[in-house]
Amino acid sequence: MSDRGKQGDNVHDAAKKNILAEFQALFFAMRSLSSYPWHSFERALQRADSSQIFVELLERTCLHPVCQKKPPSAKYRRRFLTELIKRHEATASEPLDELYDALAVVLASEEQCVCYKSYFLPAGGAITLAENEATISEGTTGMVTWEAALYLAEWALGNPQAFQHRVVLELGSGMGLAGVAVCRSCHPKRYTFSDCHPGVLRRLRDNVKLNGLEDPGGPRVAVEELDWGAVADERLRDLRPDTVIAADVVYDPDVIDTLVSLLRRLLAIPVLTRPSDIYIASAVRNPDTYAYFRRQCGKVGLRHQVLTEPVARIFPYNRTSAIEMIRLHL
């Protein structure tokens, strides 16, 4: 084969690898099937043995070891495989047994309301979290991972020094994505996940265990009940965080005053070595609610800086709502 031919093959191989990696990330995060890069996939099918690509895709998704242990929901896998079968049959003359075998496994598995979502890290490995499928369930928004948590995790992976050797408190942790990413990659000294909802706290504890954060050698990790409106000053002084983070906590106008008052109290706690930092990531779904939060921060003397440096895209999520990350200080 000529050099030019070899180069062309290498380019196609690299494109196929990228498409498979993108499908894998979307599958394990249970993103909507319409967000998959189907056009690129179809282009790759035209250039190669199409059945082989479907088999490789199965190996990266339904047959992947992560899926064998902690799978996305059965409903999601069923829809995914049905779509693959439809697309395979549009391009090949013979049905592909591997696709039907995988579907048979899914059809035989029981439907559960808990599913697993996995988010692959650039350094290797994945964060796997048990989550509910519905965005609001058990009377809380905390049983799923929200976009702002994924953004905050991406920001943390690019700014590990903001957490290194720090005593970190996370407010409204939900399923724990941001905290697990910080503990895995940013070497905090101590990390406290917190929330107020009993169901969220139970699941959060399971997720912390599932991701091996209680293993010796890592940071000291705790999961605590901490209600923004009820936590005593004494408890905050005991925790003495020098870094506080929160994702997607600015969404309910009724609790903004309580949250802002807690942030003000946290910044007033004396810390040993440096002024405290508070980082808040918010998906700005309702600009009025968000503007109210920023106004209330200003009223109690909290100044803020919008962090605008580019953040590497690592996780797949819906980026249609603007996400703003701020650092609050006195």
With contacts defined by CB under 6 A, name the span among 10-18, 80-88, 248-256, 317-325 that binds ligand SAM.
248-256
Position among 228, 279, 293, 315 found at the interface with ligand SAM (CB under 6 A):
228
Position among 73, 118, 128, 173 found at the interface with ligand SAM (CB under 6 A):
173
Q: What interhelical angle do 38-47 and 3-28 show, nearest 10?
A: 140
Q: In this complex, which beta carbon is closest to ligand SAM, that of residue 23 or of residue 120?
A: 120
Told to check if 302 binds ligand SAM by CB under 6 A, we report no
Q: Rounded to an integer, what distance in angstroms lies between the CA atom of residue 6 and that of residue 4? A: 5
Residue 65 CB partners (closer than 8 Å, separation 6+): none
Q: In this complex, which beta carbon is closest to ligand SAM, that of residue 62 or of residue 260?
A: 260
* Contact call for residues 244 and 168 (beta carbons, < 8 A): yes
Residue type for position 13: D
Told to check if 211 binds ligand SAM by CB under 6 A, we report no
Told to check if 27 binds ligand SAM by CB under 6 A, we report no
Residue numbers 255-294 binding ligand SAM by CB under 6 A: 255
Length of the chain in terms of residues written: 330
Residue numbers 178-207 binding ligand SAM by CB under 6 A: 195-197, 200
Q: In this complex, which beta carbon is closest to ligand SAM, that of residue 72 or of residue 172?
A: 172
Position among 249, 297, 302, 328 found at the interface with ligand SAM (CB under 6 A):
249
* Contact call for residues 282 and 319 (beta carbons, < 8 A): no
Told to check if 146 binds ligand SAM by CB under 6 A, we report yes
Question: Do the strands 323-329 and 277-283 form a parallel or antiparallel pair, or are they unpaired?
Answer: antiparallel
Told to check if 167 binds ligand SAM by CB under 6 A, we report no
Closest CA to 181 of 171, 193, 196: 193
Told to check if 61 binds ligand SAM by CB under 6 A, we report no
Strands (E), the chain: 114-120, 126-132, 167-171, 190-195, 220-225, 243-247, 277-283, 303-306, 323-329
Q: In this complex, which beta carbon is closest to ligand SAM, that of residue 111 or of residue 252?
A: 252
- Within 269-307, where are the H helices? 287-299
Q: In this complex, which beta carbon is closest to ligand SAM, that of residue 236 or of residue 249?
A: 249
Q: In this complex, which beta carbon is closest to ligand SAM, that of residue 42 or of residue 138?
A: 138
Residue 211 CB partners (closer than 8 Å, separation 6+): 127, 128, 129, 176, 180, 183, 184
Residue with tokens 């062309």: 8
Binding-site size for ligand SAM (CB under 6 A) equals 24
281 alpha-carbon distance from chain centroid: 13
With contacts defined by CB under 6 A, name the span among 58-66, 96-104, 153-161, 222-230 that binds ligand SAM.
222-230
With contacts defined by CB under 6 A, name the span among 69-77, 103-111, 227-235, 315-323 that binds ligand SAM.
227-235
* Contact call for residues 181 and 219 (beta carbons, < 8 A): no
Position among 131, 248, 277, 324 found at the interface with ligand SAM (CB under 6 A):
248
Q: In this complex, which beta carbon is closest to ligand SAM, that of residue 102 or of residue 256?
A: 256
Position among 30, 148, 181, 263 found at the interface with ligand SAM (CB under 6 A):
148
- Rounded to a whole number of angstroms, the distance between the first and last alpha carbons of the chain is 66
Residues that bind ligand SAM (CB under 6 A): 140-142, 145-146, 148-149, 172-175, 177, 195-197, 200, 227-229, 247-249, 251, 255
